[in-house]
Amino acid sequence: MILTITMNPSVDISYPLNKLAINDINRVSEVKKTAGGKGLNVTRGIKYSGIPVLASGIIGGTTGEYIQKQLDKDNINYDFYITQHESRNCIAILHEGNQTEILESGPVLDNYDVNVFLEHYQNLLSQAQVITISGSLPQGFPVGFYTQLIEKANKYQIPVLLDSSGKMLLETLVSKNKPFLIKPNKDELQHIIQMDIDPNDVASLVKAVNHPLLNDIAFIIISLGKNGAFARCHHNYYQVSIPKINVVNPVGSGDVTLAGLAVSIYENEPIEVMLKRAMTMGMLNAMESQTGFVDMRNYNEYYQQVRVTQIN
């Protein structure tokens, strides 16, 4: 199966309002609460693709129980390390065409939790063929924590797909324990390599994926929103273009794109198929209002419209 890691999951609450009244009472009737966190979006994307998946990470308290109930409802298997600390809530207020977010940073954990989770993770490795790691770390975890997860997976030759950013991503790039695949978006990669990237200029994209920091990463997929993606897989470059779609809510598109990549690697598909699958998943998510949801009935229609061009 594919093991997905979400270290700081949340209950995502959305409050739709006609108008946000500041310093006043706002009453809301249509509250939506879902199990959130980037890794749980990845998990759902894999589940929709019909591939066995197990969600892991750290949860706790009544919020943690709620996350488990939501995953039960979706028939998703999970095996979390459960702490005494309450998992977080993330609130999105949708008003006047805007989205105002209030994001709890989540529990503050310590070295004890780091060690117990590492043991928990080690015990799951024997079941995993592919691992995805997404999002940020809980407070109290060392910034290089993902390199420890990657090191353990690499010992068993389990490919790790990492979707993280900033220092957490950088730590893995400078470590000798490299992920098999990274999927930064343009801004995340620009930040890491300290270089401007022009998504419409192939030379600029080639230069970016050849940055010395990325030398030993087998697969680099830069997701480019409506511009599709650019990839370096081993020593080959691929430009991926996608059709114009009716975008409803693109949040979480990168997560289900990672789900598509994981499914393809699990299924041993050719690179062109992998890139088309990943882009199709991202587009299907962008066409839905619910974050991390895809309607697989539209899969073939959009898959046919993705173009992958290998660049020499």
How many Cα atoms are found within 13 Å in the side-chain-facing hemisphere of 284? 29
Pairing outcome for strands 10-17 and 32-36: antiparallel
Binding test (CB under 6 A) with ligand ATP, winner from 251, 271, 273, 307:
251
Stretch touching ligand ATP by CB under 6 A, among 76-84, 99-107, 144-152, 254-262: 254-262
Is the Cβ of residue 109 or residue 242 nearer to ligand ATP in the bound state? 242
* Residues in binding contact with ligand ATP, number by CB under 6 A: 21
Contact 86, 64 (CB under 8 A): yes
Q: How far is the CB of 101 from ligand ATP (least distance, A)?
A: 13
Q: Which of 48, 40, 32 is nearest to 71 (CA)?
A: 40
Encoded one letter per residue, x for contact with ligand ATP by CB under 6 A and - for no contact, window 208-247 reads: ---------------xxxx-xx------------x--x-x
Which uninterrupted H or E stretch holds 145? helix 145-155
Is the Cβ of residue 234 or residue 244 nearer to ligand ATP in the bound state? 244
Report the 3 state secondary structure along 285-310.
Answer: HHCCCCCCCCCHHHHHHHHCCCEEEE
Is the Cβ of residue 37 or residue 106 nearer to ligand ATP in the bound state? 37
Burial of 84 (0-12, 13-18, 19+ CB in 10 A): exposed
Q: How far is the CB of 26 from ligand ATP (least distance, A)?
A: 26
Binding site residues, ligand ATP, CB under 6 A: 185, 223-226, 228-229, 242, 245, 247, 250-255, 257, 279, 282-283, 286
